[in-house]
Amino acid sequence: MKKFTKALVALAAAGALMLSGCGTEREGDTGSNGDGGGFEKGALIGVALPQKTSENWVLAEQLFNDGLKDAGYEADVQFANGGVAEQQNQIQAMVTKGAKVIIVGAIDGSQLGTQLQAAKDAGATVIAYDRLVKNTPAVDYYVAFDNFKVGELQGTALLEGLKARKGGDGPWNIELIAGSPDDANSQVFFDGAMSVLQPEIDKGTLVVKSGQTTFQQVSTQGWKAENAQKRMDTIMSSTYSGDTELHGILSPNDTLARAAMTSVKAAGKDLPVVTGQDSEVESVKSIMAGEQYSTIYKDTTALVEHSITMVNNLQEGKTPEINDDESYDNEVKVVPAYLLEPKIVTKETAAEIYKDDKTLGPLTKG
Ligand code: BGC
């Protein structure tokens, strides 16, 4: 895994100039899509979302619909609950209807090349949203939270949680869970977490008792709770029978964290330290009740707002701002990215972090 280094925000302007392929930024130069003149207000903007595998996607649907309409566009926001083929058809339909920008949260980041190339050929700009689109030149921008950082924060939280809740210096028994292998984020989350955990595994502070440590062994097809739970059930009976304790679980998100906790409870064991991501309502309640140890706050409102800012820039014929031009190589090109900062949340920090969040803030009050 390449080292993840983030360009300074201050470099964004320089990056934007580089992208526009000329020395000065000109009004009417969209750089990447090359049509040079923006597009009409009121244009159609397509948003292709994946399956509803976590609350953030459901929230994004509403925010894109409202935000794009408020900004004066026609919005076509679609979920692809039926899977990859449905998402391919939806994107193709957006192209046919003349969408000027297509924002994509891919189910399978490697299977949209044909449809996104059709979008490019029709003059649309393609923005990968939250999940990178891979193996295609047909993607102009990426807007997401810093995924590697998410993983680092999860790894750090697991270690700190073990010290705080289980005490001593270890060794602690842990198990690892990763997200769906078709989502480009999953490997990045895992690599970020392992950058913190692997040195401790090497030192013997952490012991992965099942022996399952590769991404392939620990990934969860479709981000489905039942798949993670089934795997954990098997591990609990094969590895944690008798007095053997499980002290910690690296979980990549809240849905899978809750599934893993269900499995451990069913096995009649004490709850381990469990990480998460997304700040889902049920998990925030669990954290406040002292069960799940941590989650990650990725403010979906901010991510959608930034995506719509990019659409506005493109509409005006301007090059959207980026703050990272080196981290997201999709195997064909390095995709210019705008990355937002994720935040780690534990019971101790929840009230402060969610203080401005209308849904989550109240959950942290006594
Ligand atoms: C998102 C996570 C989410 C997961 C499952 C990932 O691509 O970044 O926030 O938990 O998908 O929906």
The per-residue pLDDT for range 267-320, each reduced to its tens digit, is 999 999 999 999 999 999 999 999 999 999 999 999 999 999 999 999 999 999
* CATH 3.40.630.30 corresponds to the domain 147-298+345-364: no
Token pair for residue 108?
């399978």
Cβ count near 113 (within 10 Å): 17
**Residue 96 parent element (H or E):** helix 84-96
Global confidence as pTM? 0.91
User: If you average pLDDT over every residue of the chain, what do you get?
Assistant: 91
Cross-strand partners of 145: 340
List of E strands, 59-210: 74-79, 101-104, 125-129, 141-145, 172-176, 206-208
Q: What is the pLDDT of residue 167?
A: 87
Q: Among the atoms of ligand 1, which is closest to the Cα of residue 223?
A: 5
Q: Which of 49, 53, 344 to mutate to test the pocket of ligand 1 (most atoms within 8 A of CB)?
A: 53
- Whole-number Å distance, alpha carbon 57 to ligand 1 midpoint, is 8
- Ligand 1 binding residues, C-beta < 6 A: 53-54, 56-57, 130-131, 179, 183, 185, 223, 253, 277-278
- Give the three-class secondary structure for 245: coil
Q: Sign of the CA dihedral 95, 144, 295, 65?
A: negative
* Residue whose CA is at the smallest distance from ligand 1 atom 8: 130
- Residue 176 near residue 32, CB atoms below 8 Å: no
- Residue 189 near residue 275, CB atoms below 8 Å: no
- Whole-number Å distance, alpha carbon 54 to ligand 1 midpoint, is 7
For residue 119, which of 189, 44, 169 has the smallest C-alpha distance? 44
pLDDT digits (tens, 9 = 90+) for 30-64: 444 444 579 999 999 999 999 999 999 999 999 99
Q: What is the chain's pLDDT, residue by residue, as a tens digit (366 residues)?
A: 333 333 333 333 344 434 433 333 333 334 444 445 799 999 999 999 999 999 999 999 999 999 999 999 999 999 999 999 999 999 999 999 999 999 999 999 999 999 999 999 999 999 999 999 999 999 999 999 999 999 999 999 999 999 999 988 999 999 999 999 999 999 999 999 999 999 999 999 999 999 999 999 999 999 999 999 999 999 999 999 999 999 999 999 999 999 999 999 999 999 999 999 999 999 999 999 999 999 999 999 999 999 999 999 999 999 999 999 999 999 999 999 999 999 999 999 999 999 999 999 999 996
For residue 133, which of 322, 323, 335, 338 has the smallest C-alpha distance? 335
- Residue 282 near residue 258, CB atoms below 8 Å: yes
- Whole-number Å distance, alpha carbon 76 to ligand 1 midpoint, is 21
- Whole-number Å distance, alpha carbon 149 to ligand 1 midpoint, is 14
Q: What is the pLDDT of residue 155?
A: 98
- Whole-number Å distance, alpha carbon 56 to ligand 1 midpoint, is 8
**How far is it, in rounded angstroms, from Cα 346 to Cα 366?**
15
Backbone angles phi, psi at 100, to 5 degrees: -90, -30
Q: Which CATH number fits domain 6-139+299-340: 1.20.1440.230, 3.30.1370.10, 3.40.630.10, 3.40.50.2300?
A: 3.40.50.2300
Give the side-chain half-sphere CA count within 13 A for 244: 16
CATH 3.40.50.2300 domain locations along the chain: 6-139+299-340, 147-298+345-364
